[in-house]
Chain A
Amino acid sequence: MAAQSRPDSLFRGYDLGDYFDEMFAASGEPRPHYRKLFLELAGMATAQFDERRQLADFSFLLHGITFTVYSDGRGTERLFPFDLVPRILPRSEWNHIERGLTQRVLALNSFLQDIYGPQRILKDRRMPRSLVYSCRHFRREMIGVSVPNGIYTHVAGIDLVRDSATGEFLVLEDNVRTPSGVSYVVENRAVMTRTFPRAFQLHEVLPVEHYPMELCQVLRSIAPRGGDNPVIVLLTPGIFNSAYFEHTFLAQQMGVELVEGRDLIVDGDVVYMKTIHGLTRVDVIYRRIDDEYLDSLTFRSDSLLGVPGLMGAYRAGNVALANAVGNGVADDKAIYAYVPEFIRYYLGEEPVLRNVETWLCSKPDHLAYVLEHLDQLVVKEVGESGGYGMLMGPMSSRATIEQFRDRLVADPRNYIAQPVIRLSRCPSYDPAAGGMAGRHIDLRPYCLFNGEKVVLVPGGLTRVALKPGSLVVNSSQGGGSKDTWVLRGEA
């Protein structure tokens, strides 16, 4: 590969390592669907690339596309680091992913319908009852509640990783409560088309900008009163939430009102918003507030974020919520191990996308194995997300591992363990080295379910661990993102 050895090339000294590289085959040749982009980048001097990069960063800053981190105690606005090298998927690979996710979302929704309804899966003993009832996010209040059109998982963000060992996509976790990040999918594309217009002339990239419209369609369809013009609102915890930018983005793109709890009021089991000309009835709430904070009369009484009485209006069928309340039982990391079983049980199909091998610490034999191999495994808390509450065995100190061991023994139901997956890598710009370096990535496609079919916007959010060697892609842990291209064809 000539370009890798040219002294001014962005790819000089690029090391494939022992990983699946998205751009290069093991031989060092660019893969067919990356060939045009590789030539484009290889012909570019570092200074030229760096200039584009600054242009893109400035664009994000100007648009105020930021998220807030609270780790420093002050709540600082930060840019979500953006890497200019896109992640490209050929159409056939995307089709495979789409089939797998469609199936998975249908199965998750069926599971939720069942678990808050007849509970056939428990009666048929296909999974342990105790696992469901011990789940922190299982909401007894939802049993017997009929949700509009039977939809629970209006929006799902399902995290996929490519295993370097096999090159296969695996499902790492399901997010069916309030998955975030989709605004970056749309914004990354917008910035990318401005920064690298030529690359889009060379490729046929499937568009993603219609996501908010698709979401709005789903929300309209669940309005309890029907009619052409239901009042839809997006309920945000407010400006201090780390995903606040996304809330404003989606509300604006959908043309719906962005509301906070204090803008709403419940009277006689009907939800209203407070406008300058009086109260207006609300039909659909796309809520980006967790279950616990939704309604201080039903859940946490100290919550000021939600709307007192909201659950009453929801149960009375006067307002629709997306996503449904109680979805956390489906994306619990211990329940995750049973999702392939859900696919077989509810759909009568074999899973298209496999799970990562998972040990449930609630099972004594699994726990024994996990305790013995803590230094080789990833241990996760079942109800957490965002990279919190995690032990990366091989990268942790003796002391950290021992701390985790105590926690595991004290509360085994709260933990699962998985092997460390060697995530695939994608060339990413390393400003310190002034060139490309392989960085680990994952993929979170966003799936919308309208009660009949699952709609995916091609691609999704590719997150990248920008720290050398890191396997953690979460933005709270120094991760960034890339634009994700699904090509119309194979190259």
Chain B
Amino acid sequence: MLSRIADSLFWIARYMERAEDMARILEVNYHMLLDPSTQTVRLRWGPLVAISGEQERFSAHYEQPDARNVFEFLAFHQDNPDSIVRCVQMVRENARTIRDRISREMWEDVNSLYHAVMAFKPEEEMAVGPHRFCNAIKFGSHRFHGVADDTLPHDEGWHFLQAGRALERASMTARIVDVEYHQLLERALEAADNHQWMAVLKSVAAYEIYRREYHSRIEPEKVAELLILHPQHPRSIRFNIAALQQALRAISGTRSGSYANEAERLTGKLHETLMYDRIQDIFSRGLHPFLTEMQNTCRSIGEQIARTYFYYAVVA
């Protein structure tokens, strides 16, 4: 497989995941505002911008974050490289450069998602709220992976898709937990916080799982445990690091117990931590440093994957 194609597949999956995650975060937080019990609470839109990591760009365009401008910025803004619309554009651009290597169904699916997204009019959507738009993105992303799973051979290319999605999702979940925790622990526990934790859980499709697993009211420590360490929840960090490890091994043909490159070594080491650390261990060392470290490691893994598979030293 050509390095350039592997590179594109990896990034298609990352951008698609980024679009989906932003859509989930946006939708859930937005709808929390509509819940009558939280009406007295001043909504804190700042964290959403923080999760996107684009505070500077945001301040260049708006003054105070509010429901409307955060929606516009995260969903539609062309100047925000991680806005949902930009992510979908990048998915399609990448798909277009390798359309000979993806299945015809995949290309049609990506293309129709792109045209559907471009047909949304920001003004109209901001008037009706993000549900319709975000739902289209969420299901667009699910459909993308469904179509890929069912029409692409599960070869190296497919594993690069899996790797891209897992890495993006792991670092996104780390960022969500980090930002929300920071924000919520700063304040005394109020009734509203329970709602905000619910929103966090819903944004990563973990609310129902939480209820089933813990049967308790929402406790921040348990939320963190679920989102960081749960072995089966498909959006937990551990689950995704395991998926990443599996994909990387499938690509290099490495058996478990060893590693073929730096990306695999870092992933394996991280996975061990997530398997054997308990949530109390993490809290006692400090959640924020742990999650910061986690995000840095994810970044390094991305760089090492690129160095191993995508870039070539120029032969003189």
Chain B residues with CB under 8 Å of A248's CB are 96, 99-100
| Docked complex Cα distance between A274 and B112 (Å) | 31
Q: Which of A61, A239, A259, A274 contacts B96 (CB 8 A)?
A: A239
Q: Does A251 contact B (CB under 8 A)?
A: yes
Chain B residues with CB under 8 Å of A64's CB are 96, 99, 107-108, 111
Chain A residues with CB under 8 Å of B99's CB are 64, 248, 252
Q: Are B1 and A275 in contact (CB under 8 A)?
A: yes
Name B93-148 residues within 8 Å CB distance of A. 93, 96-101, 104, 107-108, 111-112, 115
Q: Does A51 contact B (CB under 8 A)?
A: no
The interface size bin for chain A is 20 to 34
| Residue of A whose beta carbon sits closest to that of B309 | A276
| Residue of A whose beta carbon sits closest to that of B253 | A277
Name A442-491 residues within 8 Å CB distance of B. none
| Docked complex Cα distance between A239 and B100 (Å) | 12
| Docked complex Cα distance between A66 and B4 (Å) | 23
Chain B residues with CB under 8 Å of A114's CB are none
| Docked complex Cα distance between A248 and B312 (Å) | 24
| Docked complex Cα distance between A238 and B98 (Å) | 10
Q: Does B315 contact A (CB under 8 A)?
A: yes
Q: Does A219 contact B (CB under 8 A)?
A: no
Q: Are A265 and B315 in contact (CB under 8 A)?
A: yes
Name A50-76 residues within 8 Å CB distance of B. 61-64
Contact flags B279-316 to A (C-beta < 8 A → 1, else 0): 00000000000000000000000000000011010010
Q: Which of B2, B107, B310 contacts A273 (CB 8 A)?
A: B2
Q: Are A252 and B93 in contact (CB under 8 A)?
A: no
Q: Are A276 and B312 in contact (CB under 8 A)?
A: no
Q: Are B115 and A61 in contact (CB under 8 A)?
A: yes
Q: How far is the CB of B100 from chain A (nearest CB, A)?
A: 4
Given A63-B111, A276-B1, A276-B251, A258 contacting B6 (CB threshold 8 A):
no
Q: Which of A247, A251, A267, A274 contacts B3 (CB 8 A)?
A: A274
Chain A residues with CB under 8 Å of B54's CB are none
Q: Are B115 and A276 in contact (CB under 8 A)?
A: no
Q: Does A35 contact B (CB under 8 A)?
A: no
Q: Does B180 contact A (CB under 8 A)?
A: no
Q: Does B156 contact A (CB under 8 A)?
A: yes
Q: Does A96 contact B (CB under 8 A)?
A: no
Q: Does A293 contact B (CB under 8 A)?
A: no
Q: How far is the CB of A411 from chain B (nearest CB, A)?
A: 39
Q: Does A260 contact B (CB under 8 A)?
A: yes
Given A265-B315, A274-B312, A260 contacting B107 (CB threshold 8 A):
no
Which A residues fall within an 8 A CB radius of B? 61-64, 238-239, 244, 247-249, 251-252, 257-260, 262-263, 265, 267, 273-277
7 further contact pairs, Cβ within 8 A, besides A258-B98, A258-B100, A275-B1:
A62-B115, A63-B111, A249-B100, A251-B100, A260-B4, A274-B3, A276-B2
Q: What are 12 A-B residue pairs whose CB atoms fall within 8 Å in the complex?
A: A64-B108, A249-B100, A252-B104, A257-B2, A259-B2, A267-B315, A274-B2, A274-B312, A275-B1, A275-B2, A276-B2, A276-B251
